[in-house]
Every structure is written in structure tokens, then in C-alpha cells.
Structure 1
Amino acid sequence: MEITATVIGAGVVGLAVAAELSESRKGVLILERNPSFGQETSSRNSEVIHAGIYYAKGSLKARLCVEGNRMLYPLCESGRIPHRRCGKLIVATAPEEEAVLLDIQERARENGADDLKMVSAREVKDLEPNVKACAGLLSPSTGIIDSHRLMRRFAARVQRNGAQMVPHTTVSRVEKCDDGRYRVHVAYPDGEQDSFVSRWVVNCAGLESDRVAGSMGIDVDACGYRLHYWKGDYFSLDVPSGYLQRLVYPVPQANHVGLGVHATIDLGNRVKLGPDATYLPERNPDYAVNPAARQSFYEAARRYLPAITIDQLNPEMVGIRPKLQQPGDAVRDFIIAEESSKGLPGIVNLIGIESPGLTASPAIARYVANLIAAGE
């Protein structure tokens, strides 16, 4: 099979991109270093369908999140993907935070998420009897989704369209050929190496996307492509089913390193707290929940869930976020770049695809497909 487009990485974004590209072209290949799809960031998150509330006006995060939100719900309905449009409350737990809620509402409106509503303390209590707040901001378009079933849906499209997914395959280098195509060098777990030629290469390698970009000859530091790992612990909360009907978020932290320790529900009505944000300067993926974080999680959550006890918190899981910011840096947007300006026409790099990447995945796929179509 002649390879026309190679997608590196089979997380939710890579799968969505491969599914979109394979709708209109033959010879699409998706490479994944793990045994199956979605085994890293895509399966270790809050599984939230975001509304596009927090991001800077005009940013890719804002545009693609709002677009992805509007694409995901019909996709879930038609594809029978378990989901729920449960809504979200962002809560002010002190009077000085109420002005922040108004700022968030205005930013959301600028982004096209115009259905947010301010609610009073009494209305918060009516909506969520177990939540204490001075005021809240209700987002009815926020929801939850079975991320594995979404990825399985994209993978089925990839297969139906005749594209191929190759697991256990690590990309070691991408080399430009004289004819304008690219030679993709790969390695397998047994040490064997191989290579093949592809017209287009789309780097959706998640935690390793900056390394892959560097293997193309790009100076990742000069271009601002260097990734930084942030660990997010989660704790489950041992409460009765139905304790919360909606997601509950505090007012976000400065620079959006994280959105604070928030309470989410899953499709089985279990409540989880998290994630926090711990910088990993050595980029060593640490998937062990830090038991010492239990106290800080409890203190953060009881500001808006005052009846909980620390004994109700149990270690749940850890996710690693590939962020473009170090501690103290300003928030960074997604990087989705067709690299003709760097002398690499036919290369598309996606770097720093963290939240809201899950929500934005179908919109990101369409965006990438348009970049490729414009260069053909």
C-alpha cells in the first residue's frame, strides 16, 4: 500500500485525525507505540465535554473546544457513545470570587459559549444540595463522555475506511526526501528497525510530540515546542450515588496550570476529585497516586463540599498532561502547525494538546484535514 498520510500517535486526537483523513484519501497509516490506542493522556483524564469557557478569545483552544462541543453531542447520539449533558457549576466560595465568575461568563460569551447563567447561593443549593457557595456560574452545555467508547468509534471509522493502525511502533526519526516526501524511521520492541515513505506526516504523539518534532530537524526550544509534564492525581469520593448531579469546579487558578481540585461525576454516578497539578521537571511519567495529597484534596474540596470527611477520599488514578508551560509561565495555546515555513511542507505538528483536547478532537481533526487539503 502506498502511504499518503502517516499519523503518529493513536490517542483520541490521532484517531480522530486518521478517521477524518481516511474519509477522503487512501493510504492512511496510524502508528502507536503502545499495544493499543488511547493508553496515555486520552484515558487518564476527567472525561469531560467542555463548553469553551476559560480560554483566550480567538485561541485554538477556544475555537476548537466550542466547535468540538457542538460536534461531539450529535456524534455521541448517532454513534451510541455513552455520554450525559449534565452541566457544570463553577462556584465562588468567598464573596471576592464572585467578580471572577462574571469575568469567566464574559470570556465564555466572547468564545461563543453563550448559554452560561449566573446563579445565587440559594439557586446553587436548589441545584446541588450538598454544595456550599456564595454564587455560581451554570454551564448547561458541559457534559461527560465515555472516552474509550469515543476512541473506539474513531478506530472503527479508521478501519472501515481502509486505513491501518500499527501498534508497538515507535517513530525514531522523520527525514525529508529529495522528492518532497518523508521517510519515517520506526523501531519495534524486539529491536528491529524499518522505514517507509509518506507524503504527509501528522505528529499527534502527545507526551512525545516535541521529541518527534525534534527528530524532523526542528529546534523545539527556539520554536517554543518544548513540552513540560504535569502530573494530576485523582481521588474518588465515597458518597452515595446521586450525591452530585453536575460537575462542580472552583474558581480557576492563575495562568490555568489547572482548574483547581474539582468534583466530577462519571456515567456510573461515581464522584471523583481532581486533578491537582504537580510539575515533573525530569519528565518521568509517575502514575502512582501521591497518598500525601489526600489532605490537600480534602481541604480544597470541603470549601464547596463541607459535609465530606477525609476518610471518604480514596486514591483513584493519575494522568500526565503535556503542557507548553513551566511553573510561572503564562497559559499557552495549542500548537497545530503546517511546517512549510520551516522548510517542511507536508508536516503537521500538534504539540501541547492537553485539555480541552478530548472535547476538541473532532474539530481538531477537521482543522488538520483543511491544512492538508490547502497544501495538496
Structure 2
Amino acid sequence: MSKRGRSDVAEDLEAPLSKKPAPSPSPTTTPPSESSQPDLHALLDFTSLTTHPEISTRFDQIASSLLYDYRISITNGATVTEFEILELECYLHKVGCHEDPFTRGAEEQRKSGLWYFHRAPRRFQPSTSQVTRAPTAAGGYRGGTRKGLDITFGSPLLLSSPYFASSSTTKPPSTAPPSTTTRGGVLFRTIRRVKDQKLISGPSLLVDEVLRLSKADSISQLVDTIWGGNISAFSPPSSSPSFMSLQRMSDPKKSTPPPRIHKSPRIGLDLSHPETTASMTHPRVVYVTKQYRYFTNPHLLVANGRAHTFLGVYLECDKNSELSDDEAAMSQELVRLTGLKGPTVSKYLDEYKAGYRSDKLTSFIGAKGKGASSAPATLLKMMGCLDRLAH
């Protein structure tokens, strides 16, 4: 289906595969060198960005930095556990230029570089002016299977947490004021423990692992008691025996080709909100297809979002005419990259193409679209339909 193409999506970030050669599914770029890659601290500041292409490119840069150069480090006394980041999603609501209605409106997201454990959300309403309606107050921390962990971005980086009491051994808080118009975050979805390669996949299980390693019974106990209110991701307190931080790898293995970074629409989003209309300009319709999910090693991501992973890899491969014009070659490459079985790949392709042949967006709006993200057939048909209507 080479006639399709998404003009509003930046080129996929890729690096050479370490496995057997295969047709390149899309234009490639090598990961930026350490000297040319902007510092992650600077990348988290979206103050000067005003257009979708600028913001999409910045998401690409942040994802590349986190997936290639950083690890999540959890310290509890003398025990330090490190994790590679394999999967993440970006969310940003910036008034007047990137009003993503799926972004959480938490108070923590007014400042950058902070750990944010998900609270009951306060959703942004569609805005037709430069003034965003005031969101409702966020509630307590999410529990059960609805837990999640972000690092916040949008405003200039906060060097240390305002929730942590200053002392002679800690850095002073940044003087940059919190943003009143910008809130954003990177949601961590899958990590891999470095020492034994154990995969922790899914936002809730990821938080469970943080709690387990920190010996905390709840998020509130972790944040308020064990961390003493310090939620800075970059400036852990020297006086606390337990903290979590993002650590840049001091000696990454540059000789080993890094894994390719793939992109797809984000997991868990649909068009079931009662205010959603069947218009291609409605904010939810616009943002549900955005390829703001970034991941490596797609064959490992089998616990959640398999259809999203398939879709991202397929859209990438479809840019290559050698694959898009050869159904057998396309299926073989999708099986190789995703780890899905041949019959599953064939079924997923059929669902996407069925949606692409349809122009009935109303089939996925409101109550009809409830749960689309967790139903592979519905998701792929919806994305196919939206791709057709976008062109």
C-alpha cells in the first residue's frame, strides 16, 4: 500500500540492525554522536518550540537520548539496580501550538525533570483560543493496574526538587518559574534489568518494580517518606539512602550497533470520549494517530500493544517500495522484525487494509470506539481508516 504516507510525522529514527541483512524499510539516520547530541537537560525545555514539526523532532531527540544513552538507576542503601529503557511514549499540551487532549494535566508537569507517578487525570478540553480552560484538580495516586511513571518536560529544567528541603549538600532549586501553558511527560512503558536482562513491561508493573526495589508499600510512602518529597530525576539527594535517578551511561558500547528505534501510535488511546466528533480536525482524531511511541527490540514487546508494535513496524516498512510492492516479502520482514507468527501478521495486515478501504470514521467514534486500543482488529481498522481519510 505504497500510496499511503503520513506527512506530519518526522522521519523514523533508525540505526543498523545487528542481525542478518534485510531490505531497509525506510530512510535511515545513524544515532547522533555524543558531541552533536544536545544535552537531555536542554531537550526537556520546550519553551521556544511553536510548531508540530519542531515538537515532533524534539520528541525524536528525547527518545533517542533516553533509549540509547540513559538508564534508570534505583538505589536502596548499598544496593543499586540499573535498567535499560526499551519503550516510552511522549505527551505534551502546549497552549496554542500542540494541544494534545490525551496529556495529563498534573501539577508536577508544570516543571521539567521530575518523576511523576500518575494521579487521577485532569484532561484538557479542546481549545479554540490561546486560553486553555482550567483543568480540574488532580486526585490521589493511581493504584492497581492504572499506575504509571513519567519524567516531566516542557519548561526549563528544574535542577533540584522544590519538594526537598535545601541543605548545604544539595543543589539549590532552579529559579525558572513553572510553566502555566505547558505540561508534558515521557511515560516509561518497558525497561530491562541490566544484571539479568529481565524484562518489566507495562507501566503498572514498572511502578511495582520501583516500589519493590525501594521497599515501599505505596507510592505515597515512597515519595513522601522514603524519598522525603524529592522527585528530581537528575539531582538525587546525597543524604538519602534511597532514591531513583536517570543516569547517563559513562561508557556506552559504541562498537556495538545500537538497536533500531521504531515509532507507533501510543497505546491505550481511542475516540470514545463523548465530545469527539467524526472530523479530521478534532483534537482527539488528530492526536490518536500521532507516532509518539518509541521502542527498540519489537520482538520482545509481546505483553502489551502487539497491534501497535505491528502497525509501527508496518508503516515503516511500507515506505520501502521493495516491500510495499511484494506482499510475501512484506510479511516475511514483519515476522522477522516483530516476532509475530505468520498467521497473526496476515490477519493484522488484512484488518488494517480493511480499514483503509473504508471511510466510515463514525464506526470508531463514541461508544462504538470504546476499548479500540485493546482490540487489535478494531485498532487496526481504525488506524487504516484514519490513514485513508488523512490523504
Shorter-chain TM-score range: under 0.3
Give TM-score scaled by structure 1 length: 0.26
Higher RCO (Cα < 8 Å, 6 or more apart):
1
Higher percent of residues as strand:
1
Give TM-score scaled by structure 2 length: 0.26
